[in-house]
Amino acid sequence: MSIRIIVKEPDEVLHKRAKEVTKVTPNVQKLLDDMADTMYDAEGVGLAAPQVGILKRLIVIDCGDEQGLIKMINPEIISSEGEQFGPEGCLSIPGINGDVRRFETVTVKGLDREGKELIITGSGLLSRAFQHEIDHLDGVLFTDIAEKVYEIAADQTGPRRN
């Protein structure tokens, strides 16, 4: 497994729609593993393939909760409810946060790294992470939908989001 370079805004790849994965291959599995290593190395809670320069519909998420590491192929939100509003950041846009309105709970369907159907329902941070990463797959950044965008202090500690 390898640490990949995280693409930074304004790279065009961040604004393009990722392509659906039609076959789960060893290369797709390796990319998922590399993405997880890259996310952990950057102290993030989520990462989408476009953030490492690859236009495929792949995400990894680990919010530090009971779900643990989630690796998902072709994720899609199949149901949503409620609302939450709060700060988000992005590994591709360092030093910037924004206040974003999201669903409180989402159910996401996709494939696991073996190609088997995976359905996960998440609330709070997990819901926010799913929505943020799936937006990346559609070329949408949190700054495109934030109600307020602001710089964060360079010495601010804690995990950077998605």
Q: Confirm whether 81 is a catalytic residue.
A: no
* Residue 136 annotated as lining a ligand binding site: yes
Enumerate long-range contacts of 54-58, CB under 8 Å, 24 or more apart. 54/18, 55/13, 55/16, 55/17, 55/18, 55/19, 56/18, 56/19, 56/21, 56/28, 56/31, 57/18, 57/19, 57/20, 57/21, 57/137, 58/18, 58/21, 58/28, 58/31, 58/32
* Residue 63 annotated as lining a ligand binding site: no
* Residue 132 annotated as lining a ligand binding site: yes
Say which of 12, 43, 66, 133 is annotated catalytic: 133
Binding-site annotation: residue ranges for Fe cation = 90, 132, 136
Going by the annotation, the residues of the binding site are 90, 132, 136
- Active-site annotation, residues: 133
